[in-house]
Every structure is written in C-alpha cells, then in structure tokens.
Structure 1
Amino acid sequence: MHKHFEYSVSRKHAFFADLKGEQEFRRALTALIDSPVRIIYTFNRSTVISVRTNAKGIKSLRLQHAFRAADFKTMQALAFFVDGKEFDNKIIDRFLSKKQDLVKFFSRPRAEMQSIVYKGKFKDLEKALKKVTADYDIPLKGIRIAWSKPGKIQGKRRSIRFGSFSAQRSLIRIHPSLDSPEIPDYFVEFVVYHELLHALFPPKLAKNGGRRRVHTPEFRAMERRFREYRQAAEFEKKFISKHLG
C-alpha cells in the first residue's frame, strides 16, 4: 500500500470496510452451499433473508446487500440455512446487530438506489472509480458514483463544480459536462480522486470556531500526489477559460 494512504478510514465509512463486491460474495457463498442456488440482492429492511425453491429444485436466496460484509462464520450459517441444516441463528443475529448501520444504509428507497447512472455516452464513471481506488490503494469500499443531472454551463460564472461528495449517501456525483470525447480520461480520474479525498478527509472546523475548512493542508498535499496533477490543473484552467471566460 502506498505510504500516503496508511491511516485509518474515517468513521463515516468504517462500516464499508468488509463489504465485498456482488460477484465476489456471490461466488464465495455459492461455493459453501450444496444445493443449486440463485442469489438475489435486495434493499429490504424488514425481511433481510429468505429462500424459496422452484419446481426444478433450484433455490432462490434473497439477501439484503449488507450481507456482503459477512465473515466466513456468518456465510457458513447462511449456507446451512439454505441447505436446511441446523445452525446457530444467533450468528446471523449478531452479524445484523453489528452491521446495523450497513443494513440501514442499504434499506434506502429502491428508486434512489437504482437511479444511479454511471455509464455516460463517452465516459464510464464506475470504471474510473475502480481504476483510481486501485492505482492509489485507497481503502474505501461502498462508495457509489453517478452523473449529476444534466444542466447547461451558462451565466456569468467563474467556476464550475466538476464533482461533489455526499458523506450521508456515500455518493460521488460528476458534472455531465465531463462526458465528452474532448475531456481526457486523466481529468475525469482526477475529479474522482479529488472527491474520494473528501471521503477520506472530512471538513474541519477552524480553531477559532469559524468556517469549516473543506480543503485542509493535508487534503491539498494528497491532491498533489495525483500522477497527472499538473496536466489536470492546466486542463481545468483551459476548460474554464473556454466555457466560462
């Protein structure tokens, strides 16, 4: 891991630490289950786990997304549940109690969770997010990314907000103006990197109790670690000059 990311993740995102990818978890759990099974992820809160068997004997296991953070012991209990074997249901109860923040997060209205659009006409934000987190060994999981709502760049503005990060929703939004063949990939990745830093370095209140410091010295130092930082900064100036000048 790069030295500049050797620190603990902020509490806001600590409950994402054990979260596995959908396919990764599906493969791992399926390997523990003896029966033919189809795993379906849900955003339910009242019924977090259920299993049904069709006429062909194939089982459908419906799991709340939070179970993707399950450890081996919990996964084994899930497998026994599906196969109809005896297991200690307290294992699952303890997991749900420990991961209640994650359960709550994945219990959001389905429309909100499914309205995430990350593939644009020219740019794939999910691909950019995965590349940046891998390239810089950023220890964050569960962060989502999407294009913000379309809008025109107009008026007498001197700046444009290329991206934003919501800690409450664990969501990065990117301005749709970047979905263009004229925008280099490194600039999109830089904006994604910048927003990930907001997840890692929450705003701090000034010592005198004044305004919040969003871009702390530590934040700026990390920002300059981006490999194409100079090119990205120069491109940003040219873009703003062209569209807002």
Structure 2
Amino acid sequence: MEDSLITFGLNLQKRVGKPMHLRFNENTSTMVSISRVEGVTRVSLHKMFAQAPEDVLHHLVRYVQGKQKSPGPVIRDFIEENYQRLDYSARIRPSQLFVEGSYYNLRDVYDTVNKEYFDGGVDLNITWYGRLRTSPRQRVTFGLYYDPLRLIKVHKLLDSPLVPRFFIEYIVYHEMLHHVLPGYTGSDGRRCVHHPEFQSREAGFKYFEQAKQWIRDNEILLFG
C-alpha cells in the first residue's frame, strides 16, 4: 500500500504542475479536502485514491488545479463506491461499546432483529449513546449508523420502561437497513438515503405502523 501511495502522490504532483502538499488520510467522513495557503495547495486525500482509475485522476487533477469548483460527479461516484468497502470496525474496542442499559440490552435487541429479518447474517457493532436527560424541546436522533465503523448507536433516551421494545427494535432495524441498503447519489447530484427500496423494506417491519404511531403519540413524553 505504501508504495502505491508514493507512486500515486508523485504522479498527482507531476500532473498538477504546481506546488502542492499532499497528505493521505483514513477518515470516515471527509475523503478529499483542498485548501490554498500562501501559494501552496494543501490536499488531503483518503488512501482509497491510490487505486483511482484514469478518469477519476483526471478530474482530481482539475479539482486540485482549481479548474473545477467542486469534486464533481466522477469523484463523488468513486468515493461512494469505495466508501461502502471501508471497514474500520477493528478500531472499536469492546470496552467502548455499552449494550447493557437499565431496562434494555441492545445486543439482545440486535440479535432478535438480525435473526428475524436478516437470517442472522448482518455483523455490526451496537452501543447506547447520548444523555438520559435532554433540554426541553431538544430534538434527538434516536438511531445513527456509522458505515466504516460498522456501528449502530441508539440514544439512551429510549432506555426506559415507558418505551416499548418494539419501538427500539424498529430503530435498530432501520439502522441495519442503512448497512444492507446503502444510499446513493442521484443523477441530480443529491444524496438519496431513504430511497424507494429502503422505504419498501422498512415497511416490512412487522410493527412499522405501531412504531410510527407510537412516536406521534409520545413526542411530549420524550421531548417535554
């Protein structure tokens, strides 16, 4: 890998044709960033670009040179395709995962959903996150999915005897779907996360309507 990074870096520098400081990263979010300081272009690229084909390299050179204002669809498509392959789950230590809540064990919930809807074939990490108390009217995100970390996070606000298990199962199911059915960038350049196939599968959750109704009926309970 190191040899390919060096080769790629030298090739990019040559084609850009002006002073450039290149750094490779292993980020989980920003895959390419460019800044210009005192005549020097500073470029941070994810290591995935070492394997970039010619068309991607061509557009990357133009972007670094300032000939195009944004990465453009070719680079975005390349990032999207390779983003799905990233696996940084080994970075997570078991001690960083908190599955045992006061009322619900997330691993138990996850295993139930995994067995019933995915034949036990989805291997992800899961943990509680956030604070048990929120400020009045403060909105929280019940569930989050971090793809490169293969990590689902469920807000601690749901670890309550007032929250039915089927609602937590729904949140976990929803986040697992983000792994099974990843989003994509449409022809208009917009990111589509809850695409038609996702919505169809989501509606297949057996307590889908009950979960939607429960949150409508209990907004005051959760958010004050």
Normalising by the residue count of structure 2, what TM-score does the alignment of the two structures yield? 0.56
The one of 210, 215, 221 aligned to 1:231: 210
* Identity fraction in percent: 27
Number of equivalent positions? 139
The one of 135, 154, 161 aligned to 1:154: 135
The one of 181, 184, 189 aligned to 2:164: 184
CA distance in 2, matches of 1:162, 1:105: 21
Alignment-derived partner of residue 130 in structure 1: 111
8 A Cα contact 2:111 2:120, kept in partner = no
Change (3 A) 1:105 1:179: closer
CA distance in 2, matches of 1:169, 1:180: 27
Q: Displacement of 1:236 after TM fit?
A: 1.1
Alignment-derived partner of residue 170 in structure 1: 150
Q: Could you say what secondary structure the match of 1:193 adopts?
A: helix
CA distance in 2, matches of 1:138, 1:204: 25
Q: Displacement of 1:207 after TM fit?
A: 1.3
Per-residue CA shift, 1:25-59, capped at 9, x if unaligned?
Answer: xxxxxxxxxxxxxxxxxxxxxxxxxxxxxxxxxxx
Q: Displacement of 1:139 after TM fit?
A: 5.7
8 A Cα contact 2:157 2:222, kept in partner = no
Per-residue CA shift, 1:110-141, capped at 9, x if unaligned?
Answer: xx442101010100100000000111135644
Task: Read off the aligned partner of 1:233 and give its amino acid letter.
Answer: K
CA distance in 1, matches of 2:162, 2:99: 18
Any stretches of 5+ residues in structure 1 without a counterpart?
A: 1-100
Q: Displacement of 1:161 after TM fit?
A: 1.0
Q: Displacement of 1:206 after TM fit?
A: 2.0
Task: Read off the aligned partner of 1:123 and give its amino acid letter.
Answer: Y
The one of 178, 182, 189 aligned to 1:209: 189
Normalising by the residue count of structure 1, what TM-score does the alignment of the two structures yield? 0.52
Alignment-derived partner of residue 34 in structure 1: none
Q: Could you say what secondary structure the match of 1:173 adopts?
A: strand
Matches within 5 A, 1:85-164: 105-106=89-90, 108=91, 112-138=93-119, 140-157=121-138, 159-164=139-144
Change (3 A) 1:190 1:105: closer
- Structure 1 residue runs of 4 or more that deviate by more than 2 Å after TM superposition: 137-142, 151-157, 241-245
8 A Cα contact 2:184 2:192, kept in partner = yes
CA distance in 1, matches of 2:89, 2:200: 31
8 A Cα contact 1:194 1:223, kept in partner = yes
Q: Displacement of 1:150 after TM fit?
A: 1.8
CA distance in 2, matches of 1:228, 1:151: 25
CA distance in 1, matches of 2:89, 2:223: 38
Alignment-derived partner of residue 222 in structure 2: 243
Q: Could you say what secondary structure the match of 1:136 adopts?
A: helix
Task: Read off the aligned partner of 2:109 and give its amino acid letter.
Answer: A
Q: Could you say what secondary structure the match of 1:127 adopts?
A: helix
8 A Cα contact 1:160 1:240, kept in partner = no
Of structures 1 and 2, the one with the larger relative CO (CA 8 A, separation 6+) is 1
Q: Could you say what secondary structure the match of 1:180 adopts?
A: coil
Any stretches of 5+ residues in structure 2 without a counterpart?
A: 1-85
Q: Displacement of 1:204 after TM fit?
A: 1.1
Q: Displacement of 1:160 after TM fit?
A: 3.0
Task: Read off the aligned partner of 2:170 and give its amino acid letter.
Answer: F
Q: Displacement of 1:219 after TM fit?
A: 0.6
